[in-house]
Amino acid sequence: MPKYSTYFMMISLSIMSFIVGCSPMVVKDTGTTERPAKVYDLSPEKAYALSIQAASSLSWKVEFTDADKKKIVAYAPRSFATYTVKITITALRYSETQTQIDLKCILKGQIVDWGRLDEIINDFYAEFDQLVARGSIR
């Protein structure tokens, strides 16, 4: 019997090594990912409003907003690759006429994100850029 348990453990370790080795991005121990923030020629108030609109357009569940701190907490819909992704968006004054948009994703309960966090960040910035280009707030 011990022979089979050793064999099973070797196969399990091999499979885990393969999965982690083939993944496009291994999530840090904290389960978070951040990218360098983007800076826009907008007021923090307008950037905050556009961030809420972008999150809603992406079908994220906006769970918390703080207009004073210009902070939004949203959750991306579940997917085949991820269970729950918490997204925190903050609009910070960068200069007199510019605002910096910080985006932080937290993935809970998974070791590998399969590229989902990068996809979420890219989707948000693409949607936000489109809204800025249109210049309108719904």
Residue 87, strand partner residues:
74, 105
Residue 102 near residue 89, CB atoms below 8 Å:
yes
- Domain boundaries, given as residue ranges, for the chain: 27-134
Are 99 and 47 a contacting pair, CB within 8 Å?
yes
Q: What pLDDT, in 10s, does the model give residues 81-103? A: 667 889 999 999 999 999 999 99
Average pLDDT over residues 26-34: 46
Q: What is the pTM of this model?
A: 0.71
Considering only the top CATH level, what class is 27-134? alpha beta
